[in-house]
Amino acid sequence: MNFNHETTKLDFVRHRKKFFTFSAVLISVGIILLSTLGLNLGIDFSSGTTMDVLADETVTEEEIADQFAAIGLEPDDITLAGDENDVGRAVFIGVLSQEETLEAQRHFEEVYGNVPTVSSVTPIVGQELAMNALISVLIAAVGIIIYVTIRFQLLYGLAAIIALFHDALFILAIFSIIQWEVNIPFIAAVLTIIGYSINDTIVTFDRIRENMKLEERVKTFEDVARVVNKSLIQTLARSINTVLTVVFAAGALLIFGGEAIRTFSLALVIGLVAGTYSSLFIAAQLWAVMKGRQLKKAKFNSKDVQESEA
Amino acid sequence: MKNKKRGVKKWRIAVFFLIVSFFAGLIAVNVTDHAEDISLGLDLQGGFEVLYEVTPIDESQEVDRDLLTDTVAAINARIDVLGVSEPNVRIEGEDRIRVQLAGVTDQQTARELLSTEARLSLRDVEDNLLLDGSDFVEGGASPNFHAETNRPIVSITLRDANQMAEVSQQVMEYDPPDNVMAIWLDYEEGDTFAEEINKEDSKIVSAPSVNRTLRTTDIMIESQTFTVEETRHLAGILNAGALPVQLDEVYSNSVGASLGERAMDLAVTAGFIGVALIFAYMLLYYRFMGIMAVITLSVYIYFVLVVFNWMNAVLTLPGIAALILGVGMAVDANIITYERIKDELRSGKSMMSAFKSGSRRSLSTILDANITTILAAGVLFYYGNSAVQGFAVMLITSILVSFITAVYGSRLLLGLWVNSRILNKKPKLFGVKESEISEL
């Protein structure tokens, strides 16, 4: 996998409109789904109690329901998990009281020998968590724009942030389609992807910046496009190798990591792919378009100046 | 042929093997110790986390920083009674307190003990207050055994024997069976003796009848159901002092020990598989440089464990994920450098100058990429809840350690080989074909 920018016939910039359209369609579908179906919010973000019961043996939903009935509780939903269906997850809408929780823990410890995992959230706390996550993403975004503007230029920062929101929305869209339950580690995954996405974009931008300096004249959009293409091809091997290795790690977590981190690792895998896609096909192209416009404007302005001077 | 050989500096290669065997020895000897020393979060070893909302008992009281600090102190004193190592109690926001107890074996008892206000009061049958906490000697409670029945009891000490005499006379004014002195725990306005005495989980711990004037400072709290363990706990929280406030649970998460253990085993196995895949890929693709990457990555994982221990940080499930992601970031730093070196080799530079300029030019890229990620992790740490914070701490540690090992470690090791000149004119070892090299 070696890519020589003089011999490799890959044009990343020419097809930009297809990439933009593809992402725009996907994101709009995602937004429509998000606003209609919405995410399947776990109790971390709504309110209620979930209880994971480890049985050390295969159980059925009826068995779990019977056990809860024995202590006078009726879960609103029961699902099974674990490789041998040995974990029962019961969801209660509305928070169980401390006594009910403790009673249930005692009961299941007697029956199965393991203390169940119980998580209860009141509505206020759940909303605060989601709000905090949103605020922290916005703060991180502003921080990144400022940093990139100082180290690079504002246009790079803008393109990087658009790519970042693209990736975050991409994950949210996929999760609203597959309707997996979203929990707090999911937020951690989305934030990680934001970090990765920016990391990945910066590496290609860094090469574009370097090549822009090497170019003697960059006057038109075509010049910009040539530089962007060259830079993307030069960093292509790195982009592919990096995403492959990280996907190995995240993929291993997804397949072998157990149900406790399944949502987290799936969000990571989706995000990593999206992050690489946006760095290769969206971010640099967006920058090229913006840079092209800037150059055009500068040209007109200098013409104006010349005319008025004449 | 002769010319080529003359320049080889074998001592550099010897140094390389020395360094590698040093680290191999260090890791082999210490890694299990370090891994075992790491404190695990409650999602990995079981335990519970509760977020309490604080409301004052006395309505004139206001929830301020002082009150919250006092409450935290009282909670900590109670946790000492339970004997939990490494408890984490902290104030959150305006009126919240978060308590995390990892590795608690008896979660039920612990949770009940924490939220009991432990306001002891003695009342008559009509709920008139006879004695309250201020009348007892501080720290005067102790677990004991009844002198006759040998049943476990808790004895408390009054400040003044005369007070007891007065109070017992008051109680005796009632006719039997109403001549009782009810010992209440957490009496609240509106509770009545008649109602509470018949409840299964009653706030009245015991209600002895009083038949004569008691001129004593010793009071026994008896109950038919007391176990030795329970009397020890009750005496403990009475000594630790009453909570100045009422605590309501707004969030709670309790993880069974076996579920936590299972999550940990799975995540660790998955981690090993992921890391093994990365190693295999790096060796296959980058050949000789891949070996350097595998060495620096192993050292990286070891150092992360050491630094993590040294910071006394708590490893959570997302933390393991961050560690593995950190491996990815460290790999990325290696890949960026190696691709640069290959670029330089292809442009026709000699091995030594390609290594030099490749390392130099990749540094600013890696720096920018890592700083932006640290920025994101920092925000996570500041705003996240405990699980997310565990993730952020691990991510920041990983990035810093990966920067040192992947940039400087890799450069040092590879540099020893390159500068020994043994690799001169062997670009194939770096995965660069002769045909790709352009003439300068």
Interface test with A, best of B254, B294, B432 (most A CBs within 10 A): B254
Asked whether the beta carbons of A207 and A247 are under 8 A apart, the reply is no
- Residues A22, A24, A30, A33: is their CA dihedral positive or negative? negative
Tell whether the model's pLDDT for residue B48 goes beyond 70. yes
- Helices (H), ranges, B83-141: 107-115
Mean pLDDT of chain B: 80
CA distance A19 to A8: 20
B244 Ramachandran zone, left/alpha/beta (phi>0; psi -120 to 50): alpha
Name the one residue in this structure whose structure tokens are 């320049």: B7
pLDDT class of B385 with cuts at 50, 70, 90: low
Q: Is the peptide bond before B177 cis (omega within 30 degrees of 0)?
A: yes
CA distance B26 to B18: 12
**What tokens does B410 get?**
């890799």
Of A279 and B106, the one with more pLDDT: A279
What pLDDT shows up at residue B222? Answer: 78
- Residues B182, B187, B192, B198: is their CA dihedral positive or negative? negative
* Full-model pTM: 0.73
- Helix axis angle, B386-402 to B351-383, nearest 10°: 160
CA distance B329 to A199: 9
Q: Which of residues 147-166 of A touch B (CB under 8 A)?
A: 147-148, 151
DSSP string across B177-188 = TS-B-EEEES--
Q: Any idea which of A22-31, A274-283, B175-184, B356-365 has the lowest mean pLDDT? A: B175-184
Say if B91 is an interface residue toward chain A (CB within 8 Å). no
Say if B372 is an interface residue toward chain A (CB within 8 Å). yes
Say if B275 is an interface residue toward chain A (CB within 8 Å). yes
Asked whether the beta carbons of A145 and A158 are under 8 A apart, the reply is yes
CA distance A48 to A121: 6
DSSP state of B344: H
CA distance A299 to B208: 98
Asked whether the beta carbons of A95 and A48 are under 8 A apart, the reply is yes
CA distance B382 to B395: 13
CA distance A230 to A7: 11
**What tokens does B67 get?**
């009150």
Tell whether the model's pLDDT for residue B3 goes beyond 50. no
Strands A48-54 and A87-93: antiparallel
Which H or E run includes A230?
helix A221-256
Q: Which amino acid is at B357?
A: S
Asked whether the beta carbons of A269 and A254 are under 8 A apart, the reply is yes
Q: Which amino acid is at A130?
A: A
DSSP state of B430: G
**What tokens does A199 get?**
């990391």
In angstroms, what separates the C-alpha of A300 from chain B's closest C-alpha? 34
Give the contacts of B94 (CB within 8 A, at least 6 positions apart): B63
Tell whether the model's pLDDT for residue B36 goes beyond 50. yes
Nearest CA in chain A to B112: A98
Give the contacts of A88 (CB within 8 A, at least 6 positions apart): A52, A53, A55, A59, A61, A63, A64, A78, A79, A80, A81
Q: Any idea which of A154-158, B4-8, B42-46 has the lowest mean pLDDT? A: B4-8
Selecting from A1, A120, A268 the residue whose C-beta is nearest the C-beta of B252 gives A120
Asked whether the beta carbons of A244 and A303 are under 8 A apart, the reply is no
Asked whether the beta carbons of A264 and A189 are under 8 A apart, the reply is yes
Q: Please state the rounded mean pLDDT for residues B45-65.
A: 78
- Helices (H), ranges, A113-220: 123-151, 154-178, 184-214
CB contact under 8 A, B277 and A258: no
CA distance A217 to A295: 12
Tell whether the model's pLDDT for residue B4 goes beyond 70. no
What pLDDT shows up at residue A21? Answer: 92
CA distance B334 to B291: 11
Nearest CA in chain B to A187: B388
Longest dimension (CA), chain A: 95
What pLDDT shows up at residue A310? Answer: 44
CA distance B354 to B350: 6
Strands A181-182 and A40-41: parallel
CA distance A116 to B262: 13
* Residue B201 φ then ψ, to 5°: -105, 70
Q: Whose CA is closest to B108, among B57, B47, B65, B159?
A: B47
DSSP state of A258: -
CA distance B160 to B215: 9
Say if B394 is an interface residue toward chain A (CB within 8 Å). no
Name the one residue in this structure whose structure tokens are 């999911």: A186
B246 Ramachandran zone, left/alpha/beta (phi>0; psi -120 to 50): beta
Of B290 and B439, the one with more pLDDT: B290
For chain A, 310 residues long, the average pLDDT of each consecutive 10-residue run is: 61 86 88 83 72 81 84 81 78 77 82 80 68 75 83 88 88 86 78 79 89 84 89 88 87 84 87 90 92 85 59
* Angle A98-A100-A105 from CA coordinates, rounded to 5°: 95
pLDDT class of B50 with cuts at 50, 70, 90: confident
CA distance B401 to B136: 56
Q: Which of residues 256-285 of A touch B (CB under 8 A)?
A: 256-258, 260-261, 264-265, 268
Nearest CA in chain A to B108: A102
Neighbours of B284 (CB within 10 A): 10
Q: Whose CA is closest to B323, among B41, B64, B92?
A: B41
Interface test with A, best of B337, B364, B368 (most A CBs within 10 A): B368
CA distance B334 to B293: 7
- Residues B430, B434, B435, B440: is their CA dihedral positive or negative? positive
What pLDDT shows up at residue A284? Answer: 92
CA distance B255 to B212: 51
Radius of gyration of chain A (CA): 25
In angstroms, what separates the C-alpha of B302 from chain A's closest C-alpha? 17
What pLDDT shows up at residue A9? Answer: 67
Task: Enter the ipTM.
Answer: 0.76
Q: Which residues pair with B88 in a beta bridge?
A: B100
**What tokens does B316 get?**
């959570």
Give the up-direction half-sphere exposure of residue A145: CA atoms within 13 A in the CB hemisphere.
15
Q: Please state the rounded mean pLDDT for residues B130-137.
A: 78
What pLDDT shows up at residue A287? Answer: 92
Q: Whose CA is closest to B252, among A58, A100, A241?
A: A100
